[in-house]
């Protein structure tokens, strides 16, 4: 099992939650203030940025089958996102938690603040 931080359409009640709903929800969480969140046209992309802000999301315990599905959704092979360790605050500060960082340009995209 892998802990995964989600911050957009995969969160509970959002349009892509079905991709993760059979996995185990752990807790709400926030990143260290070294990221930014951008509107990519109906879904967000998180990038590492300094100065940054703390992004609000959720931590899920995801099995290997679930990770493979999420990697497809996030277009890992196509180079849109990469799954990497994400630095979180609070109870997750000392744990390995992975998340999806956006790899393409955010030039001209709207910064949406801490929460999608």
68-88: pLDDT as tens digits? 999 999 999 999 999 999 999
74 tagged catalytic:
yes
Q: What are phi and psi of 69, to 5 degrees?
A: -65, -45
Task: Tell me the residue range of the domain where 26 lies.
Answer: 2-106
pLDDT band of 48, cuts 50, 70, 90 = very high
Q: What angle do CA 30, 104, 54 make, to 5 degrees?
A: 15
Q: Rounded distance, CA 116 to CA 43, Å?
A: 8
pTM reported for the whole predicted model: 0.96
Counting the structural domains of the chain, the total is: 1
CB-hemisphere CA count at 13 Å for 113? Answer: 2
Cβ atoms of 71 and 29 closer than 8 Å:
no
What is the reported pLDDT for 63? 98
96 within some domain: yes
90 within some domain: yes
114 within some domain: no
Catalytic residue among 74, 80, 91, 98: 74
């Amino acid at each position: 099992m892998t802990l995964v931080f989600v911050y957009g359409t995969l969160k509970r009640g959002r349009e892509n939650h079905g991709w993760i709903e059979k996995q185990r929800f752990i807790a709400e969480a926030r990143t260290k203030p070294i990221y930014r969140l951008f509107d990519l046209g109906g879904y967000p992309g998180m990038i590492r940025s300094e100065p940054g802000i703390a992004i609000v999301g959720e931590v899920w315990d995801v099995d290997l089958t679930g990770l493979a599905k999420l990697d497809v959704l996030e277009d890992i092979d196509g180079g849109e996102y990469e799954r990497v360790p994400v630095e979180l605050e609070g109870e997750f500060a000392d744990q390995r938690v992975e998340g999806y960082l956006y790899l393409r340009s955010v030039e001209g995209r709207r910064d949406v603040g801490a929460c999608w």
